[in-house]
Structure formats: structure tokens, C-alpha cells
Amino acid sequence: MADTVKITIDDIEYEVPAGMNLVDAAKLCGVDIPVFCYHPKLGYAGNCRMCLVELGTPRRNRETGEMELAWFPRLQTACTQTVVDGMSIRTRSEKVRDGRRIILELLLSSHPLDCPICDKGGECPLQNLTMEHGPETSRMYWEDKMHLGKHIPLGELIYLDQERCIHCARCIRFQRLVADDPVLGFDQRGRRQRIITSSTPPFDSIFSGNTTDICPVGALTTADFRFNARPWEMVQVATICSHTPEGSNMYFDTRPDREAGGRTTIKRVMPRQNEQVNEIWLSDKSRFVHHYMEHPDRLTRPLIRKGGKLVEATWEEALEEIARQLQAAEAEVAGIAGGRLSNEDFFAFQKLIRGQGSNNLAAYPARVAGAEFVAQVGVGVGTNFLDVGEGDAILVVASDLHEEAPIWWLRVKAAAERGATLIVLNGRETRLDKFATHRIRYAYGEEVATLNAMLGSLDDEHIQPEREVEGLEETLRHARGFEASPELAAAAKAFAGAENAILIVGGEGVGAETSHNLAQAASNLLIATGHVGRPNNGLIIVWGAANSQGAFDMGIHHRYGPGYQPVEQPGLDYAGIIAALKSNDLKALYIAGADPVFDDWLMEEALRATNAYIIVQDMFLTQTADLADVVLPTQSIAEKEGTYTSGERRVQRFYQAIEPIGESKADREIFLTLAQKLGHGEARTVAGLIFNQDIAGAVPQYAGITYQALARVEKQFPDVGGEDLYYGGTSYPNRHGLGVQWPVAAEDESAGLVVRPAEAGSRLTATDSALVVVPVTVLYDAEPVMQKTQLLRQRVPAPYAALNPADAARLGIEAGDMLEITSDGHAIRVMAVLDETAPRGAAIVPRRLQAQGAPLAAVVAPVVRLERIGA
Amino acid sequence: MALLDTRKEDIEHHLSKYPDKRSAIMPLLYIAQEEYGYITEEAMQEIAELLDVDITHVKGVVGFYGMYYDKPKGKYLLYICTDLPCALRGAEEFSQHVCEKLGIQPGETTPDGIFTVENVMCIGACHRAPVMQVNFHFHENMDEEKADQLIEDLRREVKATEPYRSE
Amino acid sequence: MAHILLRELDIPNIKDIDVYLAHEGYQGLRKAIAEHTPDEVIDIVKASGLRGRGGAGFPTGVKWGFVPKDVFPKYVAVNADESEPGTFKDRQLMENNPHQVLEGALICAYAIQAEAVYIYIRGEYWDIADWLDEAIEKARARGFIGENILGSGWSCEIYTHRGAGAYICGEETALLESLEGKRGHPRLRPPFPASVGLYGKPTVINNVETLANLPYILDKGAEAYRQFGTEGSPGTKIFCLSGHVNNPGNYELPFGGETTLRKLIFELGGGTRSGKPVKGILPAGASGAILPATDEVLDTPLDYESLRPFGSSLGSASLIILDESVNMAWAANKMIHFFSHESCGQCTPCREGTYWLRRLYERLERGEADLYDVETMKNIAAQMLGKSICALGDFATNPVLGTIQHFGEDYEAVLGGDGSGDASPDEKEAAATEAAAD
Ligand SMILES: Cc1cc2nc3c(=O)[nH]c(=O)nc-3n(C[C@H](O)[C@H](O)[C@H](O)COP(=O)(O)O)c2cc1C
Ligand code: SF4
Ligand code: FES
């Protein structure tokens, strides 16, 4: 436990952690010091002057040599103080109350007092603190007030009301300190001072929505929620972000809506505090993308192909037909499930397919692999990036974390700022480099070799496995065959020597095979350096979808069943399924919650060519669904309940927020109905029962976890936005569960650890006419859910390839040119963007900006200029 | 024409003065103002890039300081101090005279784009009031006659240096 | 008496480096380097009792003593922002005797072992900055600036940096922010610039006039310096005389003794131009509280402390003289206009308070205000006091509180209508109770 000090608040003595901010310490003691500009996640700025207290600090009397309390003659700002032993404050004296009253009166002297039409009304710190501490009337003449702009769009997402702004600078500080997008600032000075942004595009930050939460007044509001509903009319339904793998906790704020014919609709998404997951932050994608869930294009009824066309059918009809097809196919079926399904869905899905006697199961996207390594050496239970700092290390390889997992990016960056050693290995510069202690560039293709070389460079002193490791000798010998530059060796040493070390493996440029090997190499490095089996040590894989971890945990894999238990007869993996489709070795394919055709032209080719019966289950008529024989309408996360497992293996619950759209059903329900029809056994469709009984029984790692335990909450600190809206946040309190992390094998000290040489690929090299085409992930891509969300769609860039200007010059390419890149017989068209951060010889091509718009893994491919578009 | 094309030497000189290049923002803004008459959006962008800061920051700096202009102003910027010490010595009447002579209000620019008048806070010449600055150069112990003469002279100077055209 | 600071009055053309050198120029710096360690220089300055001339009067040597010895680099910032209404002394020092200022800055830099000096000069002193640059080049050519100064092994550069029209940048931490290329928002203290200053490094900030004293002190010694002025305020001070006097200008006089407002206004200033009696004196520009021109006030020997009993202070000694023709509510309006124009906008009391006060004064000017409004003004000003980040917020209360206290009748003279305005009886009663409370 940290040291404590004694402080006195209003004549009562308390013991609080040393080094704590005085406002936080008082809060811990149950004393609210009102604040506007101070925020525990942003530190102090001392500008609002609301937190004035009488302050006495211990000083040595020059004459007597005794310590005595010296009271400052003036009121002091509590937010700028750190507690010291013997400090004393008064928070309730006449003087303090006067101080608060005048500060509030001064703030209100410029305030428009338009609370009745303000989105923040009802959850506004200014309103609340005025009730509690403010003057009853204002002496300011109404007509003397400053008049400023009221509806200023800072971008498509955020609006500014300059009159309501109280200049606390929280938004500016958030953008600068937390998001590292310093695109907000003050302009002018004095009373004319105001918030501006001048970035292109405006308010250029993927975290912009957070500013509306921390704004202590209604100055910043979202385009999403403006004038939409009143906070007190809404019901908060706990949910989990279903788009990226961090497992961000959030709320759907819902309300019956007249425009929707009385249906309950989602009015807004708010962060739900979970200090171990997303703290109080959300990416804008998490916050704003929900509109697709209630989009009119949602599928409402099953569709069956008749006469070459998909026509509406009844559930009865569709399920009968599917059952008949599956029955006939017997074990010649395969299943592909996308990573937005819940654990219960996945469990039911594998039960259905395995019930057929088939292990042909693939999770989608299939390009990121290695979950079995996570099951061995994933980060220890209790891991929290907030606890990582000085003395610890984080290694990130093959990931642009800012795009792949924004919340992890925030937290890794913050850990680096607290002093953690940050090692970034990638083929190009990413937004994490700026915070890194070691930045290492490899040539694409050498991802695994680079990790191997790190391991190989370590001397005996740094090879410190904590227990018996099988295969260590051989693996080390293999690793020593890879050469490490001095920088890489230094990074390896720093990693090995760190108190705690986390290794994050991403999916940039790599495909399933390399990804698997990368996880092996990562696991080797962690085991050999003793960084496994403890909190804040171990492996995290940046999955391509929100619940990919859950998919693997539930056994959506051709080689292992639920709980990573090997199957006797391995089935086909994703690539194997494509091959079998083409050769007509499969009779039926079931694709649930995945749109592989959008990514993969080989899949399209296979689906067009095959005779197999194609079942697609989705929310929209995706490109994959378009090729199906039958399409089943399924539900979004808002319409059902269940659990997700985050990339840190935290199992978390989400709840039903709205009524199902049309006749859509939950994925699990469809699978289980079919399983029953096929005679695979009794169907239990209630999510909680599946979790508590089926999953607990089949997945050893989940055995100790109950649905109820997932809903458990405990007091979190800082207590942001409790009932009292203390720190002025909106809807942060988590009343619905903090989730439970499942333990990995290495956490059992008696469990053996295994390392194996990680097979390394070789460097990809550009030629005279061909470049190394590297697929990378971007947050704002053109996948269907983004397309259906007007607000975010505007930020999705046109498909492009980023080239190094030197390569462009060599190939006669100018910015704006239309390029054609051909690989594997498939051509894509993208616009040329010149970018110094693109390495020489490479073309960086974002995935999913258009259908089949990038190769699945890095390849060497000719890049040809088609036409000159630019001037 | 970018600033770096026309004023490279000056820019480099200012960059060399500080351990952190961001400190050069104020001198660079003055350079932009000298070059274009006011600080254009493009100049702000160029300075932001040169100094590796967000353009929002550059705008905020321009907006904070009174001597930077992000809109066109007259070729001659006339600062007339009307702060308390000068006001005690007739500065307000003096300012009024100059404005009437030019047919504009304080803060405005003559239609021909030659003069902008601003009533400013103390500029450190209280003992020689009324005082006026022309493009930041002092003209002290002014009176109405001297002001009239000065304005005539400046007008003539503009004519002599044609082809000056107003915005 | 020969001048210590305004030496050009005794030695024509001393701004020329050769003339300066012919008259003990750079002698103080030479002695400091040749005869003293940096710490000894600090001790000498402490012994001289020199106090900062920028307004606060803080002992200069003591301030230098706060600078940590083992942190590098260190900086000196010369405060040449001179923007206080009624102040024009630093300008004269830089215009007419730039080398004295440079020498003073170098002595300071040597004492704390700084590697660079930045002269933050207000933008409106455009030409003076150019002239300073020329003087810097001349001094460099003679080996006083640059590498290995006077063979000491210590190197130091001097640069000028122009402000751009923001009074707040005279406040030392706003000055540092501005120098770093930011908006001039004052910093929270602690930490103080002596330990965490420019670019987070130890920094001494001194006013131009403060530094101009140093060549004399180092050349002639602390004892010689102390022959001028008083025990508590040694040396001489430049008094900037402006407003309704016949001979406005800068006057250098020793602190205390015969230096009184009467002497300055009537002897040196030649009395009022109108011949009307003096009504009030602003001893510290717009920032200090106004003094009524009573005999007691006029005859008080001036030093840093002597105006305290009258509820005012000497500040930077910018004496604005107002004669009987002035309505003090008008003067207060001018000053509030100044402060609301110059408030940086960072902290609530100053940003909102100055704006609100300004609106109330505008009402007053339009003849729309009543007694209740005057009470409100007084109450807001009183409540603003001591709650802002920097002293500007406090300064802004002085014109209001001072003029209402001493010249309340001037307000009554401009109240509108029947003097009752449109405040409700309740509000008036509330205001009255509140007024009684403070
Ligand atoms: C609002 C404000 C404006 C100031 N303006 C000036 C100024 O223009 N020149 C100056 O030397 N000091 C000014 N000061 C005082 C400085 O903060 C600082 O005390 C001074 O430069 C220290 O130098 P000294 O110790 O030599 O006096 C100002 C202070 C405040 C609060
Ligand atoms: S007192 Fe005024 S000038 Fe000083 S920090 Fe506050 S707002 Fe800025
Ligand atoms: S000044 Fe302390 S909370 Fe704003």
C-alpha cells in the first residue's frame, strides 16, 4: 500500500494517500470541493477558481523551531494542491462560501441561462453547483451580457455554444494531453476569448466525443444528441462496444420516440466508467456508429433464393429448408462466424456445426490468429494499463494501434508518458512512435524474424524463465540465427529487464499464417524473459473484431473446440474452406455475422463457383448475403443480451436496449433452433443459462465465472460523475458490471510452459515496377455499418494507397493519380497519396475502404498509373 | 509565394534564436504581416508547418495579440493612444480629428485602403501626448496641424510608390 | 547629483558604445567577471539592497539566490514590455543608453550562469528593438557578448524578442509563455520561474530599469550604491510624470528624503497646465489605487513602503497627475476599459469581473446607472480581490475601489435619472446589506 498522510478537513482528521491531489483526497473522505476546470483525468489548470478553500500548511516557526499551522490570508485553489502531512483546510466557512458564491455569480454573468433548452440540462455541473453554492439572483443586467455564437459546428460531430463556455479549457486539455490531437484552442482574449478549431478536416480527432462528456456546461454537444432528448427521460442500458477489441464499457441511452412510432430508440451512447478497460473514454466510432442498428436497410425477414432472386420468406420456411440442406450435407458443412457475435452465439454456432460431425470452423476476419498462445501466456488476471509505468515495458509489433484499437492506444501512450519503456516495431511510422523509447523499423515480411532476433540477442542474464520451459534450448538456438541490430538488441534488453512487460501483437500487413507465427515468437519472448503468469505481463493480440477473443474461446476454430481443447480430427480452416468450396467438397456453408466477400475476392470467386448451399445470417444484405441461397435477419448488439470477451480476456455482459428490428432473431436462437431441428440436442436459448451452464461446462477457463458475477460492481476511483456529478461528467457510473478476466494457463504455477521455434518469413522487396503492397487497418473504413451511419460516413476516405514520394517520382506517379494494383489476378483501383511516412518501396493500402480493396496480406505487386486525376 | 521563398534568411535567423523553434512564432507572424499586409490563412498554415504546431495554435496566438491582423488593413496603420494619461492631454479629441479627416471611425479602414485608425491602450509615450504611431513608428507631441500634414505626406508617398492598389 | 540611470542627461551621446566605454562602460561587467565568482556577484547585489523596478519591488539579489546552481541551461529574461499606462522609463533607458541595459543583463546572466538573455520588448517599441539589435552587435564585436566573454570561459547570447500588443505579457510568467510562442496566459505558481522558468529551466526575469542599476553597483560597490535612497529602498528611481502637469517626463531621484510628490509635481513638473489644483494622483499607473492630493500625501517621502498607509503603492512609479477638472468616475472607466481589454481571459474573476465592471461603467457614462449599480461595482471589485491567478485581476479592482472611496461624489454627479434606477426595492436592500457587510 502506498504511504499515507494525515490531513484535516473542517476540523476532522483523515488519512489519505500521500501525493494525492487535495480535491481527490477530500472526495475520498466524502467532502466535495466544487470544481469546474479540475478533472482527475486531466490534472489541474487552476483557472475557474471554483475550488477555493481556506488552507493551512505546516511550517516551522523560525523562533521556536516548532511546527505550526500557517493559514494563507487569501483563499487558495484546492485543485492546485497536493496533500502534505499536517495540511488543514476549511471548506465550509463563511469566507469559502462567499468565494464560491461570487465565482458562480461571475460565471453566470456571462452565461445565457438557457437551461430549459440545453442538452446538458439535468446533468450540468454548472446548474448543480449553482443550486448548491450560487447566489439566488444575479446582479448582472441581462442586456449587458456578452453575446457570442450559439450553434457553431466544430466538425460534423461536435457543436459549440460560445455563450455557454466557461473557459475551463478541459476540452483543449483533453485534446492535447489525452488524445494528442491538439486541434482545439483558445482564440482572442479576455471576455472575448473563445474555443476554436482550425484543423482540416475540422476537429480532426477520433476521440472528439469525449469533450462533450467532460465539458462541465452545455457548451459542447454532439450532433448526435443535440436537442434530442432530456437526460432524465432516458433509460441507460449497459453495453459493450461491438467494433474494436478493447471491450469499451458504454451505455445506450434509450427512450421511446414519437418519430419512431413509439418504439424505444437509442438516443445516444455514453461511456460507462471501467477503470480497467476504457476508464471514461470512448472512440468516436464506439460512440456514434450505433445508427446502423436502427437503419431502414436492416433486414427484417428471411430471404430465400427463388428463380435466381432472393425473396422474402417466413422463418418457418427458411429454417425448414436450411435444416433439410444441412441434414443432407451431414459432415460436409463449414461455418464462418464474424467477431461481432456474442459468446453465446459462438457457442451455439460451433455446437450446430460440430453437431454435424464437422470441425470446419473459421472465425472472421481470419487474418489474425494465435489465440492458443493467448490461452497460454495472455496478460495475467488483474492487468490494467493504468498500473503500467516507470520500470515496466510495453512492446507493440505490427500494429497501428491508434486505428486498430484506439482505447489501447490512449492507454499505452499514457503508460509511456508515466515512464514505461515503449518499444514499437513496425514497417512504418505510426502515431505511437512519438511516445516510444525504442522505434524499430523492419522490412515487411520480417515481422517474425524481428521478434526472433530480439530473443536471439539476449544473453543468459536476460533469459530468465521463471520455471521449467519445454523447448527452450532449441528455440534459443533457432532465434540466435537471426541478426539483431544494436538498436533492436537494446530494445530486447529493455524489454527483458523490465519489471513487468506486455507484448501487443497487431495485424498490420500480415495474414493468418504470419500472424500465428508472430504470436508464437511473441510468446517465446515473453516466456524466455519471465514475463508471463502475472498481472501486467503477457500477450495481447489486437483482434480484427470486437469479440474475436470470444470466438476462439468458444471454439470457433478448425483445430480446437471450446476452451482450446484439441479436436481429434482437425477440420478446414478459412483457406481450406475456400478451396473446398471451389472443388465442391462442401455441401453447405454457414456464414454468420461476417461479410468475407467484402474483403476477399477469392471468397467471392469460390461462392460464385460452388454448388454448396450458402446460408448467410446478417443485419444487412451484404455482398456476401447477396450470393447466398438463404439469408436470415439477425440482431445487433442492442437487441439482445449476452457476453463479449475483450482482447484482454475480460468477459463482459451487455443488455438488451431496444426491441428487435422486424422479425430479426438473435444469432444463438437461430443456431439452436436449427440444432434442435437436426436433433443435435436440447436447445437452451436464454443467454444467461447458456453462459452459466453450457459455456461454464464446456470451457474450463470460464468455469468459475457466472453471469451474475459479470454484473458485479465495486467502487472505482476516481469516482467520476457519481450521483453528485462531482467531476462534471455525464453518465459515467457503472452500475452494471465490471466484467471478469479469465486466467491463462501460465497463471497456474505448476503448468508447464512450451516454446517452439517461430517460423519466420522473409523480407518482401520492391522491384522496378512492383511495390510491397501492405494492407493496414483504419478505424473509419467503409464496412456496411459505417456506410449506414451518416455522421461517420463523411470521414471515410476514398480508397487510396500511400506511397513514399521517392517511389512516386520513380514510377512517375503524382498525388491524386488513379492507380491500379494487381495481385493474384485481381486488380484494385486506388488514389495515390504521397506520404513521407510510407517506407521506400511500399504502398500502404488501407483495408476495407472499398469492396475487395486491399490484398489480405502484404504482397509484392505491380503498381500502375491509370489516369491523372489531379491538376 | 511562400514565406520561405521570400524571407528565408529572416526566418532562419529567428529560428536560430531559440532552443525550441515554436518560440519563433511571434517573429514569423510579423514577417507574414510585413509580406502580405496581414496574416493570411496560407501564412498561418505555412508557419504551423514550419514550427510543427497545429494551425489552431497559430490562430490562437494571432487572436491573442493586438498587433497581429488576420484581415486586410490599411497600408498605414495609425495607432492613436487614447488611454488615460494621453486622454488627459487631449488625445481623444485628437483621435476624433484624425478620424474626421479620414472620414472613418476608429477601427476602420479608409475606402482607398490606405489608412486604418485604431485607438489603442498606452504605448509608452504619455509624456509626449498626443501620440500616434504609423506602422509602429512613433510620431509624438502631435497636434491637429501636424497630423494633417503627416496624412498628406503619407498619401503622397503612396502615390509615388504606385502601383500600390488597395485590397 | 549625477544620474545613475539617465546618464545621457550628463553625458551626451552615451548610446554610442565608444562614448559609453569612455565613461566606465562595461566596467561593472569586467569587474564582476575578473574579480568575483558568480555567487559573490549575487552577494554584492544582495548587499546593495537593489529592489525590482518592475512594480513589485522584490529584492533582486534574493531572487537570483533562488536559482538552483546545478540545473542547466539557465536563462535571463529582460522585461521590456513596459505597458503600464503612464510608464515610459524603460524606453528612455533603452533608447538613450542601451549598453547600460545590456551590461546589466550580462551581469545578471553571469551571476546565475545563464547561457542566453532574451529581451522581451513590447512590439510598439519597434524601432527601439532594432536599435537594441544594433547595440548587441556592437557589444558582441567588443567581446562582451558571445563565446568566452572577456576570457572568462563563460558564454552568453543576447536576443531581442518583440511582443505584440498584450499588457499581460509584462507579467513575468505570461512573458515566459509568450516567449515560448504561446498565448500570454500567466502560469500558476509555484513553481516560480527561478526554478522552473523558460522552457522549464531556471530563469531570472528582471525589469529593464532594475538591470540598469547593476553596472553602477558592480563598478562602485554596494556601499556606494546605498548612499542613495533609504535603508529599505536603496538607490534612485526613475519617476514617470504624466497627465496634467506642465513638464511631463522621466525624473531620476533617490528614494525617500526630499523625493515627494509635491517636489515632482510642482518643482519638476511645473504644476498643472490649467493652474487648477491637483485632485488625485495615480502613483503606479492604472494598477495602483488612486491617492487624493492631500498635503499628507504630497509631502510623504516616496519609497516602496511609504504609500501603504494611504492604501496604495509606488509600483513602477508612473505618476499620473489629475487636476480638478477630472471626474474620477470617468478616469476609473478609462482604467477599467484598459483592464478588461487586457485581461488574458484565463481565470474567472478577472475575465468576468473586468467585463462586468466595464459594462457598469458604460451605464454610468450613459447616465443609466444608479446608486445600486455603484454598490454593485464596489462589491464585485471587493470580491474579485485575491481570487485571480495573477495580479492583473487585483490591479483591476484598484480604480474602482480607490475612486469610490476617495471621490464618491464624482459618481453621484453622474448617476442617471432620479438616482434610483430600475432595481427592485428587494435588490436594493440586499445590496445595502451586502455593502454594509464589507
Ligand atoms: C499584469 C502585470 C503586468 C506587468 N507588467 C510589467 C511590465 O510591463 N514591466 C515589468 O518590468 N514588470 C511588469 N510586471 C511585473 C513582473 O511580473 C515582474 O514582477 C517583474 O518583471 C520582475 O522584475 P523586477 O524584479 O526587476 O521588478 C507586471 C506584473 C503584472 C502582474
Ligand atoms: S488575473 Fe486576468 S490576466 Fe491574470 S491570469 Fe487571470 S484572467 Fe489572466
Ligand atoms: S481552479 Fe480549481 S477546479 Fe478550477
What is the DSSP-derived secondary structure letter of residue C266? Answer: I
Ligand 1 atom at minimum distance from C167 CA: 3
Residue C257 is part of a domain; what is its CATH number? 3.10.20.600
Hey, which CATH number is domain A770-865, 3.10.450.50, 3.30.70.1450, 2.40.40.20, 2.40.30.10?
A: 2.40.40.20
Average pLDDT, chain C: 95
Please write the tens of the pLDDT for every residue from A579-598. Answer: 999 999 999 999 999 999 99
ipTM reported for the complex, 2 dp: 0.93
Single out the residue of C22, B64, C420 nearest to residue A188, CA to CA. Answer: B64
Of the pLDDT bands very low, low, confident and very high (cuts 50, 70, 90), residue C417 is low
Taking the domain A371-541, which CATH number applies? 3.40.228.10
The pLDDT of residue A138: 86
Residue A99 CA to residue A454 CA, distance in Å, equals 60
Average pLDDT over residues C326-341: 98
Average pLDDT over residues A763-778: 96
Contact C304, C342 (CB under 8 A): no
Exposed / middle / buried, residue A696 (Cβ in 10 Å: 0-12, 13-18, 19+):
middle
Our measurement of the distance from residue C49's CA atom to the centroid of its chain's CA atoms, rounded to an integer in Å, reads 18
Average pLDDT over residues A236-261: 94
Please write the tens of the pLDDT for every residue from A492-529. Answer: 999 999 999 999 999 999 999 999 999 999 999 999 99
φ and ψ at residue C432, rounded to 5 degrees: -65, -40
Domain boundaries, chain A: 4-92, 110-222, 303-367+547-704, 371-541, 770-865
Average pLDDT over residues C324-336: 98
The pLDDT of residue C329: 97
Of the pLDDT bands very low, low, confident and very high (cuts 50, 70, 90), residue A869 is low
Q: Which three cell numbers stand for residue B35?
A: 509580406
A580 vs B161 pLDDT, higher one: A580
The CATH architecture of the domain made up of A4-92 is: Roll (3.10)
Topology of domain B76-161 in CATH is Glutaredoxin (3.40.30)
B57 lies within 8 A of chain A by CB? yes
The pLDDT of residue A724: 62
Of the pLDDT bands very low, low, confident and very high (cuts 50, 70, 90), residue B167 is very low
Specify whether C171 is located in the same domain as C295.
no
Instruction: Report the gap between the CA of C360 and the closest CA in chain B (Å).
Output: 18
Its CATH class, for the domain covering A303-367+547-704, is alpha beta
Please write the tens of the pLDDT for every residue from A685-695. Answer: 899 999 999 99
Ligand 3 atom at minimum distance from A80 CA: 2
- With 70 as the cut, is the pLDDT of residue C428 above it? no
Q: Which of A15-19, A729-733, C34-38, C287-291 has the lowest average pLDDT?
A: A729-733
Hey, which CATH number is domain B2-64, 2.40.50.100, 3.40.50.720, 1.10.10.1590, 3.90.1150.10?
A: 1.10.10.1590
Highest mean pLDDT range out of A125-129, A680-684, B98-102?
Answer: B98-102
Specify whether C26 is located in the same domain as C93.
yes
Specify whether C285 is located in the same domain as C218.
no
Chain A to chain C Cβ contacts (< 8 Å): 97
Topology of domain A110-222 in CATH is Alpha-Beta Plaits (3.30.70)
- With 60 as the cut, is the pLDDT of residue C403 above it? yes
Neighbours of chain A (3+ CB pairs under 8 A): B, C
Residue C363 is part of a domain; what is its CATH number? 1.20.1440.230
Which domain covers residue C292, as residue numbers? 236-323
Please write the tens of the pLDDT for every residue from A261-276. Answer: 899 999 999 999 999 9
The pLDDT of residue B46: 97
Q: Which residues pair with A426 in a beta bridge?
A: A441
> Quick check: CB of C343 below 6 Å from ligand 2?
yes
Specify whether C312 is located in the same domain as C365.
no
The pLDDT of residue A870: 54
The pLDDT of residue A725: 59
Of the pLDDT bands very low, low, confident and very high (cuts 50, 70, 90), residue A137 is confident
Point out the ligand nearest to the CA of residue C45: 1
Q: Evaluate whether residue C437 is within a structural domain.
A: no
Cα distances (Å, whole numbers) of residue A658 to A236, A240, A254, A272, B148: 11, 15, 8, 18, 77
Cα distances (Å, whole numbers) of residue C378 to A25, A368, A621, C407, C435: 36, 70, 71, 13, 8
Give exposure, A395-426, as e/b (b: 16+ Cβ within 10 Å): bbbbbbbbbbbbbbbbbbbbbbeeebbbbbbb
Specify whether C65 is located in the same domain as C123.
yes
Of the pLDDT bands very low, low, confident and very high (cuts 50, 70, 90), residue C249 is very high
Of the pLDDT bands very low, low, confident and very high (cuts 50, 70, 90), residue A804 is very high
The pLDDT of residue A729: 58
The pLDDT of residue B165: 42
The pLDDT of residue C423: 45
Q: Which three cell numbers stand for residue A858?
A: 502484404
Domain-ending residue, one of C197, C226, C255: C226
Of the pLDDT bands very low, low, confident and very high (cuts 50, 70, 90), residue C425 is very low
| Number of domains, chain C | 3
Domain-ending residue, one of C226, C248, C265: C226
Q: Which residues pair with C204 in a beta bridge?
A: C76
Contact C360, C376 (CB under 8 A): yes
Helix, strand or coil for residue A538? strand
B68 lies within 8 A of chain A by CB? no
> Quick check: CB of C342 below 6 Å from ligand 1?
no
Q: How many CB atoms lie within 10 A of CB C402?
A: 25
Of the pLDDT bands very low, low, confident and very high (cuts 50, 70, 90), residue A336 is very high
- With 90 as the cut, is the pLDDT of residue C427 above it? no
The pLDDT of residue B166: 37
> Quick check: CB of C111 below 6 Å from ligand 2?
no
Percent of chain C scoring above 70 in pLDDT: 95
Q: Evaluate whether residue C213 is within a structural domain.
A: yes
Specify whether C49 is located in the same domain as C198.
yes
Please write the tens of the pLDDT for every residue from C40-83. Answer: 999 999 999 999 999 999 999 999 999 999 999 999 999 999 99
pTM: 0.95
Contact B66, B48 (CB under 8 A): no
Contact C175, C121 (CB under 8 A): no
Percent of chain A scoring above 90 in pLDDT: 88
Q: Which three cell numbers stand for residue A257?
A: 420516440
Of the pLDDT bands very low, low, confident and very high (cuts 50, 70, 90), residue A258 is confident
Average pLDDT, chain B: 94
Please write the tens of the pLDDT for every residue from A805-840. Answer: 999 999 999 999 999 999 989 999 999 999 999 999
Percent of chain C scoring above 90 in pLDDT: 94
Residue C178 is part of a domain; what is its CATH number? 3.40.50.11540
Instruction: Residue B65: list chain C partners with CB under 8 A.
Output: 123, 163-166, 184
Q: Evaluate whether residue C433 is within a structural domain.
A: no
Instruction: Report the gap between the CA of B17 and the closest CA in chain C (Å).
Output: 7
Instruction: Residue C370: list chain A partners with CB under 8 A.
Output: none
Single out the residue of C28, C26, C15 nearest to residue C94, CA to CA. Answer: C15
The pLDDT of residue A683: 75
Contact A514, A860 (CB under 8 A): no
Domain-ending residue, one of C170, C196, C226: C226
Specify whether C265 is located in the same domain as C368.
no
Ligand 1 atom at minimum distance from C53 CA: 27
Q: Evaluate whether residue C422 is within a structural domain.
A: no
Residue A692 CA to residue A697 CA, distance in Å, equals 8
Please write the tens of the pLDDT for every residue from A430-468. Answer: 999 999 999 999 999 999 999 999 999 999 999 989 889
Average pLDDT over residues A141-170: 94
- With 70 as the cut, is the pLDDT of residue C435 above it? no
Please write the tens of the pLDDT for every residue from A19-50. Answer: 999 999 999 999 999 999 999 999 999 999 99
Residue C332 CA to residue C121 CA, distance in Å, equals 28
Our measurement of the distance from residue A445's CA atom to the centroid of its chain's CA atoms, rounded to an integer in Å, reads 27
Residue A542 CA to residue A245 CA, distance in Å, equals 7
Of the pLDDT bands very low, low, confident and very high (cuts 50, 70, 90), residue A731 is low
Specify whether C66 is located in the same domain as C210.
yes
Specify whether C271 is located in the same domain as C383.
no
Contacts of B151 (CB under 8 A, 6+ apart): B98, B101, B102, B115
Contact A282, A239 (CB under 8 A): no
Q: Give the DSSP per-residue string, A203-263.
A: S--TTTTHHHHH-SSTTEEETTTTTT--GGG-EEEEEE-SSSTT--EEEEEEEE-TTTTT-
Average pLDDT over residues A290-299: 96
Q: Which amino acid is at A710?
A: L
Average pLDDT over residues A392-412: 98
- With 90 as the cut, is the pLDDT of residue B162 above it? no
- With 60 as the cut, is the pLDDT of residue C437 above it? no
The pLDDT of residue A1: 46
Partner A, chain C 347-366, Cβ-Cβ below 8 Å: 347-349, 351-356, 359-360, 363
Q: How does strand A469-470 pair with strand B132-134?
A: unpaired
C45 vs A750 pLDDT, higher one: C45
Angle, helix A94-109 to helix A125-133, in steps of 10 degrees: 140
